[in-house]
Amino acid sequence: METKMERNQDSISIWAADLGNGNFRNPVIYADYSDPDVVRVGEDFYMTASSFNSSPGLPILHSKDLVNWQIIAHAVDRLPGGYDNVVRHGDGVWAPSIRFHDGKFWIYFSAPDEGIYMTTAEEPKGPWSPLHLVKEVKGWIDPCPFWDEDGEAYLIHAFAKSRTGIKHKLKLCRMSADGKELLDDGEVIFDGEADHPTMEGPKLYKRNGYYYIFAPAGGVPTGWQTILRSRSITGPYEDKIVLHQGDTEINGPHQGGYVELSSGESWFVHFQDREAYGRIVHLQPIRWENDWPVMGIDSNDDGIGEPVLVHKKPDVGRDWPITVPTTSDEFESPSLGLQWQWQANWKTSWYSLKDSPGKLRLYAEPLPIGVSTLYHTPNVLCQKLPAPALTATAKLTFQPGTTWDRAGFTVFGHEYRYMVMSQDEERFLLTYVQGKGSKEGSEEEILEKIELPAGVSTVYFKVTIVLEAECSFAYSLDGEHFVLIGDRFTAVPGGWVGAKLGLFCLQQQGQPGGGYVDVDWFRVKEQ
């Protein structure tokens, strides 16, 4: 077996976009960073994305070349009230916009049932200011701020039909210069019902005297990128489709953000919906013709750009080291790795990195009243699938306090599977469970149960994932010889998110008994 030191010296083998020869491949991040937006400040690029019900939320990623990315922070530690001790799948942080204005970073996002929020920071790593409620309103989504050259400020947004009954429309509101409040209820400046149905995700820019709105339409799996252009911020706007799937395999392609480089190049970051893999991040070159952006490459001569699969990297003046967002974790840091998120507002009582140094200790937290399945369990610690094919392995040592304590490993979505350890009298049991859930409810079924040898409390859990998100679970008592357990399971998305890898420790009867599991390490490798 590898030691931790040997493992730390080994480079992590996971999806990398940088091909090392001056080119990159798409996606630049093969992980679920939904609704990405990006901003350039000097020679640095910063990206944020939707995080929905997870905490911490609003991930901040950094790059020097738009190809190699690392997670550096979260802008939201916990969501506002209503996300404590309850899992609200699909709610929370929707489609943020990130901007740099007046010497600081700004992020706006909508929680679809609560309203439009804003947070600021002088440095992208934080600290980020407490969330400020700009507008208490239901169903105003995908907000994007804009400060014009004359000092006037605006905010553009779309609508969630599920909350408002309105679809396809974009509305522009006047905003206070300090970004803290809207000064009116706004005016609809574009209605896409006829030619651009399901228009959403607007991003507002100004270039060469034109106001541009970059907005996807046509729906997440099947849509296209529309550009709206006007000499006046209030319109009327001309419209043009500039990027679509065409003859490529890149469906969507959906919403994102635009940046100009100091070299003069223009680029567009967007997502592609890959179902169980989530909304993965792509990068497209832009050239300008008659003050219209042309995205990707028009490979089939239809007058509309198609997404590139391989392309020359952005000209940022030099090459930068190949990096990918962190996945594996040896739990040797004093703080939890930035790749990890909980299913609801997290509590300090759920875990410790100090009680067993070098390990993550998860405590057997009692389930909330009325919760009986993993689907609605808040203290499931998750991270995104980071590659199309991978293995994820974790070493768990279980110390239950009662026979109702459980500790395990999951591939999680609206349908899910998990391996879980429990204790029955003197022996440990290993159980394989299938589950499914929705806003209407959830249910689980035991598919296999194994009695472990006497005295065994340490188990290595592994899942192997191959295209298209087909999962095989296995366990080992020595870390070398793995035994398959359960069925071959095809992972599915969750609430607007891809499937996730997760760890958990819980108490099923609602009474704390002092149980816990120590996770020695969690390791991810690309197949």
Query: Torsion over CA of 122, 127, 133 and 138, rounded to 10 degrees?
Result: 110
Three-state SS across 303-361? CCEECCCEEECCCCCCCCCCCCCCCCECCCCCCCCCCCEECCECCHHHEECCCCCCCEE
- Whether the CA torsion 155, 158, 160, 161 is positive or negative: it is positive
Identify the pLDDT of residue 1: 46
Global pTM value = 0.96
- Model confidence at 208: pLDDT above 70: yes
Closest CA to 28 of 43, 16, 20: 16
- Model confidence at 181: pLDDT above 50: yes
Identify the pLDDT of residue 26: 98
Distance of CA 213 to the CA centre of its chain: 24
Which helix (H) or strand (E) element contains residue 137?
none
**More confident site: 4 or 269:** 269
CA–CA separation, 459 and 417 (whole Å): 17
CA–CA separation, 157 and 179 (whole Å): 14
- Tens-digit pLDDT profile for residues 422-438: 999 878 999 999 999 99
CA–CA separation, 20 and 3 (whole Å): 29
Phi, then psi, of 136 in degrees rounded to 5: -80, 110
Exposed, middle or buried by CB within 10 Å (0-12, 13-18, 19+), for 103?
A: exposed
CA–CA separation, 109 and 157 (whole Å): 10
Window from 5-14, 57-66, 211-220 with minimum mean pLDDT: 5-14
Would you place residue 367 in the very low, low, confident or very high pLDDT band (cuts 50, 70, 90)? very high
Indicate which residues carry an active-site annotation: 35, 200
- Model confidence at 72: pLDDT above 90: yes
